[in-house]
Amino acid sequence: MSQQSHAEPQVQPERTPESGFDIGFYNWTPDDVNGFDELFVRIQQAESVNDWSKILADHLVWGNSKIAKSVGIFNMNSATDCPNLGTDNCQVPKESCYAFRSENMYGNPLDYRRRQEFIWDHLDAETWADAFLEVVSRKRNPVTALRFNQAGDFRHRGDIVKAERIAHRLNDEGYDVYTYSASDYLDWSVANHLTVNMSNARREYGDKHYTALPDGVDPTDVDFLDDNAVQCPYDKSDGADEFKCGNCRLCFESNGPDVYIRLH
């Protein structure tokens, strides 16, 4: 005889400013994002670092086609909602942004990154870092670094302060934390532990330049690049695994040379 289920029906969360969701802050609404209600329930029920680590684990990516699996990736927002998309700040045209293209070709990346944004805005730096370390403690494979923003970019100084506090904590535990940003208009003066690769040449705001050069343009002809600028080894090798970011450490090191890639 089958046993009848007496499970309580799922109650949809009440999304109000009092419950921690400011509907006017984002370019999207909860109904736009698959999986948002489930995430919201989990956040409301989270009572410990362990609970947060499980939420974070579901929203961390480990490596991709260009990044080694030892590197965690977390986005503060999507490419679609990026503050620099289609502006003069970004050196890559909107139609050439691979993160934006993937979000418009497939729905899942956009939903995923918007959930990441919500987590980012609802978790303080100390708990985020503790949750990340707990995720790492459960992993079988080694972890060497954390990259902020494969898609999107820093929106305001609060993002920088939070990322710097996380980087400080993770550096103490032996993990590098790095990013690429075109948000040159923000105050980056607090970023001492976070390695910042500047994605435009409008002003000095980070540690070094990371630049896309058209074929035929020599780096020595570009005024803002140092004389010792090097081509990204992964780019130069046409995608050799041993030069994936994480195996190569050029972008991790704040005192390293400027790096460029070829814009194809």
Q: Is the per-residue pLDDT at 20 higher than 70?
A: no
pTM of the entire predicted model: 0.88
> Mean pLDDT, the chain, as a whole number?
89
Rounded to 10 degrees, the C-alpha dihedral 169/170/173/177 comes to: -140
Q: Where are the domains of the chain?
A: 28-40+47-201
Residues 6+ positions from 51 with CB-CB distance below 8 Å: 42, 45
pLDDT at 22: 55
Task: Say if residues 134 and 55 touch (Cβ distance below 8 Å).
Answer: no
pLDDT at 23: 53
pLDDT digits (tens, 9 = 90+) for 204-225: 899 999 998 888 899 999 999 9
pLDDT digits (tens, 9 = 90+) for 107-162: 799 999 999 999 999 999 999 999 999 999 999 999 999 999 999 999 999 999 99
